[in-house]
Homo-oligomer: A and B are copies of this chain.
Amino acid sequence: MIKVGIVGGTGYTGVELLRLLAPHPDVELMSITSRTEDGTPVADMFPSLRGHVDLKFSTPENARLTECDVVFFATPHGVAMAQAPALLAAGVKVIDLAADFRIKDTKVFEKWYGMPHSCPELLAEAVYGMPEVNRAAIKEARLIGLPGCYPTSMQLGLAPLLLQGKALVNEASLIADCKSGVSGAGRKAEVGALLAEAGDNFKAYGVKGHRHLPETIQGLEALAGRKVGLTFVPHLVPMIRGIHSTLYATILPEARDVDFQALYEHHYKDEYFVDVMPAGSHPETRSVRASNMLRIAVHRPGNGDLLVILVVEDNLVKGAAGQGVQCMNIMFGLEENTGLKHVPVMP
């Protein structure tokens, strides 16, 4: 059994980790930390876990995290980088769901996250936790920086285009028009995320710049081995879970004969968690609700030179906790889909 600790169990990614890990056949939940809820049974805060999780929240000091095999950080940015060095030194693997270990360039990190990076020496070692592009490195990793929710959908949606020897599309002007449910904003008391504000409403936000942009560009450039230009426009959808990314790429003249449907199907044919749907499909976010699946559809309207890629994922699962468990499975030599074979909840 893998001994698992969770730091920061009171947010949505924390409770989602608990939903996935509590019934995981190879996991023993050891401790869950929360300074503010020390001593509170987890199931008192989240009655959905009654009968599934018997733990109480404890302070980090009392959580005996160094006795764990792996610790997940479901915390605000900045927490994992403060605690990871000691855990790694104690032989504990670390998987961070926040942004501390995503961005390799500390200047970029500091610009977008507004804080200095406290352990840049670990950044080189940290592995970007997206198994479909990075499986071998994850297998050997001690420290994982999990991708953000939007970046997962954008990168997996564009990867088959970029991973070719030569450019197929205009890589300088990619567009990602992304839509997310409100759980992406976290379990924080903010006026903008109230049902009375975000319900029956739709808007874009962060058009000027969003933290997931530099992360995604870094990832896309790593895939392509070339410079990539991306415009990323996020929108808030009045739903709870789910991301739908509509990606636009202009096909280069020399690639007009490529069968992109076949290219995507071939690229992902061995991936359990990526489903390339039949040509003409319109994936719905609910088709992956509460599961680790990501579905992709490839369109080329009017057989023109614009490729439209539709990607859906559950932002809390493949976009966060589920991808974390997927990485953990790889790191500990388990079948990659262990504990992650949920049938999506529909309707």
Interface of A toward B, CB cutoff 8 Å: 12, 15, 18-19, 22-23, 46-52, 173, 175, 177, 179, 181-183, 185, 187-191, 193-205, 207-209, 229, 231-233, 235, 237-242, 244, 246, 248, 250, 275, 277, 280-291, 293, 295, 299, 301-302, 304-306, 308, 310, 312, 316, 341, 343-347
Contact = CB atoms under 8 A, between A and B. Distances in A.
B202 A244 contact: yes
Nearest to A290: B345
Nearest to A284: B203
Number of copies: 4
A202 B346 contact: no
Given A231-B248, A347-B183, A284 B202 contact: yes
Given A19-B346, A347-B183, A198 B195 contact: yes
B200 A200 contact: yes
Given A194-B195, A240-B200, A177 B246 contact: yes
A312 to B, nearest CB: 8
Contact of A199 (B199, B282, B291, B305): B199
Contacts of A289: 48, 200, 345
14 contacts: A47-B284, A48-B343, A181-B196, A189-B191, A194-B195, A199-B199, A199-B200, A200-B239, A201-B284, A203-B244, A204-B282, A209-B302, A231-B301, A241-B347
A203 B283 contact: yes
A345 B201 CA distance: 12
Contact of A182 (B19, B195, B282, B302): B195
Contacts of A242: 200-202
Given A49-B343, A233-B308, A238-B237, A182 B203 contact: no
A189 B194 contact: yes
Contacts of A46: 346
Most buried by B among A175, A187, A194: A194
